[in-house]
Amino acid sequence: MHEFGIVEDILATINKIATEQKFKKINRVTIQVGKLRQVIPENLQFAFSVLAENTIAANAQLVIDEIPITIRCQSCNQKATIADFTYICPHCNSSDLEILTGKEIILETIEGEK
């Protein structure tokens, strides 16, 4: 499950920010995950609850927002959001696409107590 690796990286960043901001406890963490990362939210939640145990983020709420797959067609230069990994331009049916979003993992917000 690659979700554990993702959570390890997130927790490392949380710890760094918590130290810099002098947080004593983290209550809520919001992340954005691109659809192309093929993350299963339930697995990510589970990994977070296990790995955050005995850390500053223990019992913190993890909020996961999905970033859709957006493309730019190299043939017609139109942008579009695609669903279910269908890599065809909805405007001209070309498959010559540039992926603009969907690969990201973004730590959006950390809420805590000082």
Query: Taking all residues of the chain, what is their mean pLDDT, rounded to a whole number?
Result: 94
Residue segments in the chain with a per-residue pLDDT below the cut of 70: 1
Please give the pLDDT value at position 85: 77
Task: Please tell me the pTM assigned to this model.
Answer: 0.85
Beta-ladder partners of 111: 28
**Domains (ranges, CATH) in the chain?**
3-113 (3.30.2320.80)
Cβ–Cβ under 8 Å, residues 2 and 25? no
Residue type, 31: I
Neighbours of 50 (CB within 10 A): 10
